[in-house]
Homo-oligomer: A and B are copies of this chain.
Amino acid sequence: MIMTRVPMQIQLTQSKKEKPDPATLVFGKTFTDHMLIVDYEEGKGWHSHRIVPYAPLTLDPAAIVFHYGQTVFEGMKAYKSEEGTIRMFRPEENMKRLNYSLDRLCMPRIDEENALYALNQLLQIDKDWIPTLDGTSLYIRPFVIATEAFLGVAPAKKYQFFMILSPVGSYYKEGIHPVKILVENEFVRATKGGTGSAKTAGNYASALKAQEVADQQGYSQVLWLDGVERKYVEEVGSMNIFFKINGEVVTPAINGSILEGITRKSILQLLRHWEVPVAERKISMDEIRNAYENGQLEEVFGTGTAAVISPVGELNWDGYKMIIGNGETGELSKKLYDTLTNIQTGKENDPFNWVYEIKKHIAQLA
């Protein structure tokens, strides 16, 4: 891989923050000492790449991001291997998806190589923040916001691209365990023609209400159905969804309204490699219910960067409760979880070249 070298201004912090106890880390509350900022201006392009101490942003109250939500983001993780190298999981895919999202929101594309180069530098600077306790990692949040001060509804002429880093704990406190999911009949996350396939703020804002209702009923997530017929499965909160039905693993096909998860893509590749029958297609709730009634709904699991694999122990569809695998983690779910996390952390071979080693690339560039 050839990396473009953008001139990077680096300003190190004068007062390093205290690092949190890795045993008590919660998701997305603690941030490291530094962050990346890149500016964009129409006519000038992306410029002024800089790594600076993590600090509040200063934005005009009329900045478009506050009013018309012109913003996109990504989420990925870095791990420290036992040899002290920094490993990431397919970050090139995240940069590609970031550009896909930017396009959908009429925002300027970033240079993927430059962004990865900047990330290499940022991770080198804040590498002591990568926790090493089992299950922990450094969560990376790249995001782009429209900063122009203008109340007209139009794409902005000014943007800022950021990367911030947050050490995160294990998603599962006591090992992988199944979650209860409510099938959502009232609220809709996204429809074909909308922004569902982009990683943009509005999709998550619109999901909060359904999430609130699910919480109150003791469910940790909602399973979204399609907005048109309200019968086909879409995805879960921030995960794609898979069903193992009578030996075959099925997941909703990419349809313009769900996010194309990188974990989803990797799981499909892994399953095909293992010669497990897989299908990407439309799946109706009626089909799920039938499979359940016939005893063929063997496993259900969500996939995403945060939890990697999240087994589903219960699905509630309008009061009809389906208990999957006695509410326990299925064999395939467990195997996928172990394989993926072992590849990510370096405990297992990486047959697909998914792992991206930070140290190696920096060395190449030096």
Enumerate chain B residues within 8 angstroms of A66, measured Cβ to Cβ.
65, 71, 73, 143, 145, 201
Contact B204 A203 (CB under 8 A): no
| Cross-chain contact of A188 among B28, B54, B164, B191 (Cβ < 8 A) | B191
Contact B212 A202 (CB under 8 A): no
| Bound-complex Cα distance A208 to B108 (A) | 13
| Bound-complex Cα distance A273 to B35 (A) | 60
Contact B62 A212 (CB under 8 A): no
Q: Does A139 contact B (CB under 8 A)?
A: yes
Nearest CB of B to A300, in Å: 21
Nearest CB of B to A253, in Å: 19
Contact A201 B194 (CB under 8 A): no
Q: Give chain A interface residues in 232-283, CB to chain B under 8 Å.
A: 237-238
| Bound-complex Cα distance A176 to B204 (A) | 39
Enumerate chain B residues within 8 angstroms of A207, measured Cβ to Cβ.
153
Enumerate chain B residues within 8 angstroms of A69, measured Cβ to Cβ.
69, 71, 200-202, 204-205
Q: Does A84 contact B (CB under 8 A)?
A: no
Q: Does A345 contact B (CB under 8 A)?
A: no
Beyond A69-B204, A238-B153, whether A58 also contacts B61 by CB under 8 A is no
Contact B200 A205 (CB under 8 A): yes
Enumerate chain B residues within 8 angstroms of A317, measured Cβ to Cβ.
none
Digit string of A172-198 for contact with B (CB within 8 Å is 1, else 0)?
A: 000000000000001111111111000
Nearest CB of B to A267, in Å: 21
Q: Does A211 contact B (CB under 8 A)?
A: yes
Enumerate chain B residues within 8 angstroms of A195, measured Cβ to Cβ.
202, 205-206
Enumerate chain B residues within 8 angstroms of A129, measured Cβ to Cβ.
none
Contact B237 A153 (CB under 8 A): yes
Q: Does A170 contact B (CB under 8 A)?
A: no
Enumerate chain B residues within 8 angstroms of A153, measured Cβ to Cβ.
204, 207-208, 211, 237-238
Q: Does A159 contact B (CB under 8 A)?
A: no
Contact A56 B56 (CB under 8 A): no
Enumerate chain B residues within 8 angstroms of A133, measured Cβ to Cβ.
none
Beyond A71-B205, A195-B206, whether A154 also contacts B211 by CB under 8 A is yes
Enumerate chain B residues within 8 angstroms of A190, measured Cβ to Cβ.
194
Q: Does A151 contact B (CB under 8 A)?
A: yes
Q: Does A152 contact B (CB under 8 A)?
A: yes
Enumerate chain B residues within 8 angstroms of A325, measured Cβ to Cβ.
none
| Bound-complex Cα distance A153 to B238 (A) | 9
Contact A227 B194 (CB under 8 A): yes
CB-nearest residue of chain B relative to A212? B106
Q: Does A42 contact B (CB under 8 A)?
A: no
| Cross-chain contact of A155 among B59, B68, B151, B212 (Cβ < 8 A) | B212
| Cross-chain contact of A191 among B61, B194, B204 (Cβ < 8 A) | B194
Contact A56 B61 (CB under 8 A): yes
A62, A104, A139, A205 — most chain B CB neighbours (10 Å): A205
Enumerate chain B residues within 8 angstroms of A105, measured Cβ to Cβ.
205, 208-209
| Bound-complex Cα distance A94 to B208 (A) | 23
A67, A149, A212 — most chain B CB neighbours (10 Å): A67
Beyond A29-B150, A57-B58, whether A205 also contacts B70 by CB under 8 A is yes
15 A-B contact pairs sorted by A residue (CB < 8 Å): A28-B62, A28-B151, A68-B205, A69-B205, A105-B205, A105-B209, A151-B166, A153-B208, A186-B193, A188-B191, A189-B194, A194-B227, A195-B202, A195-B205, A201-B201
